[in-house]
A and B are shown apart, each in its own frame.
Chain A
């Protein structure tokens, strides 16, 4: 299975500031996905990031709030901009894992963000 390194693992940020989350994959992947898991909720897809093109955002998420970079096939960043307490969530990156015996999607370890 793909191995994803995600950092930071957690952070406490002041409202109005921005945080950039990084994901590094140990193999080249076409698409990387960014999810949000709000407290007590399930995972919601924020956007899909392809190398060499702009990310595709899901309904309710906009580029100005969640800019994404995808400079190469193993790395992506998600920035949470102008944060408010409502942005307090766990943010996870994910990749399609074609190498697994049971095909699926592998997740990074997550970034637990608290906005105060």
Chain B
């Protein structure tokens, strides 16, 4: 079992729709959770971090964390073609709070 799992996609959504990206992790002791966006040929850029169960909203983005079920999700409202990118989920494992373990990413394609 991979430590951090994501559906590779592509996830295709029409412009203006809600894109839902999901991530599961195996280490129940994981403490911090991050969503990064990576455009082709570019380095990852941080979208959001979340540490507690529940929802965290920032503009069009909402991160959701459920530690009991060991999943974290990212919702993108009013999706735009410029949101088309690979979205990487990353977690910090218990006892290694400065180490990021990344999933393989979900490719999102927003259709105009």
Contacts and interface: CB of A to CB of B under 8 A. Distances in A.
Interface of A: 31, 33, 41-45, 48, 58, 92, 94, 96-97, 100, 102-110
Interface of B: 34, 42-49, 58, 88, 90, 98-105
Nearest to B51: A103
A104 B46 contact: yes
A interface majority secondary structure: strand
Contacts, number: 48
A73 to B, nearest CB: 16
A31, A104, A110 interface centre (most CB from chain B within 10 Å):
A104
Contacts of B44: 43, 92, 107
Given A42-B103, A108-B43, A31 B48 contact: no
